[in-house]
Amino acid sequence: MNICHPDSSKSCAACCGLYNVIDGRREVLNSLLIKRTFAFRKISRTVDAISDFSEVSRTGLGIRQWDPEIHVCEYTGFVDDSCKTVGCMLHPQAPGNNGIDFRGLCYYGSMACKAFLCPAASEIDETYVTIVNRLITDWHLYGLVATDINFLNALFALIEMMVEGPIAAEAILGAEPSGMLMKVLAWKTSWPFAEKSAKRRSSYYLIRSDQPKDEAGLVNNIVDCLCFTFDFCVGSNEAHAMVRRRIHALVKTYKHALLVDK
Ligand code: SF4
Ligand code: SF4
């Protein structure tokens, strides 16, 4: 499975700095990406024009970088006609490039862009990856969830601890549990305890150690991940209680689905 671009409904560009901006809300990023994509499609594919586009993208189209340590690439855009999949506009298969690889013109250079694969590609159980891929159909949410190793591992470990066994993908993907799980995953873009924050940080570069073995520790990890995403302290008792309540309700529905499946 290609974690970066699993299917035609969504993709990820977190490691291109997509979320490293002052305002990473979906509507803001979407509007920026649309402007950048269509501006880039108009330029000729020459070294000068592509290099000049970097400045246009950075200043004229308004990249407001947040963490100065993480580069925000000027060439990230939509790579399909219906603006569903984000990716590299310098890639040989991106629209207008006629099979020519222009990635050598970017900040990281061609080799780094071709070779990089974030830790999520190997650190998340295949079943969890399958569930996430089947449920999420939006690039903004996908890039935040699929790269957050700690969030997914804590969430699914908590569910497995409560059901005392491994998750059965087909049962949890049934109509009722999947709707509840989707609401939990969607916390990564809209978390009621951080409504004032416009940040949506990706943790694609973070690897965390083993998950705790108790409910309180796992709930704590989930809340910590949300605090990181929104760069906002949401670690109140109320937040922990809500996570616990929602996961318990999800597990109850999932257990029912398991019984029906038997
Ligand atoms: S952050 Fe990971 S999943 Fe996302 S595009 Fe980069 S390597 Fe792929
Ligand atoms: S040039 Fe490199 S960093 Fe920029 S969008 Fe393409 S792959 Fe990402």
Average pLDDT along the chain, 262 residues, taken 10 residues at a time: 93 97 96 96 97 89 88 96 97 97 94 94 94 98 97 97 95 95 97 94 86 94 95 84 97 90 66
* 106 plus 36 within the same structural domain: yes
51 and 176 part of one domain? no
Residue located nearest, by CA, to atom 4 of ligand 1: 12
Closest ligand 1 atom to residue 204 Cα is: 1
Residues 133, 241: one domain?
A: yes
In the chain, the amino acid numbered 137 is T
Say how many domains are in the chain: 2
| Residue 55 within a domain | yes
65 token code pair: 């970088």
Residue among 165, 87, 93, 181 at smallest CA distance from 133: 181
Do residues 19 and 99 share a domain? yes
Q: Ligand 2: distance of its center to the CA of 110 in Å?
A: 8
Shortest-distance ligand to the CA of residue 113: 2
Q: Is the CB of 4 under 6 A from ligand 1?
A: yes
Residue 9 domain flag: no
Q: What is the pLDDT of residue 235?
A: 61
Q: Whose CA is nearest to atom 4 of ligand 2?
A: 73
Write out the two tokens for 255.
């257990």
Inside any domain, residue 39: yes
CA angle 155, 158, 163 (to 5 degrees): 130
- Residue 216 domain flag: yes
Q: Based on the fold, state whether residues 30 and 81 are members of the same structural domain.
A: yes
One-letter identity of residue 113: C
Residue 127: predicted pLDDT: 97
Instruction: Judge if 97 and 172 occupy the same domain.
Output: no
In a domain, 6, yes or no: no
Whole-structure pTM value: 0.95
39 and 156, same domain (yes or no): no
Domain of residue 158, residue span: 122-139+148-261
- Output the residue whose Cα is nearest ligand 2's atom 6: 88
Q: Give the model's pLDDT for residue 136.
A: 98
Is 2 a domain residue? no
- Report yes or no on 1 lying in a domain: no
* Residues 73, 70: Cα–Cα separation, whole Å: 9
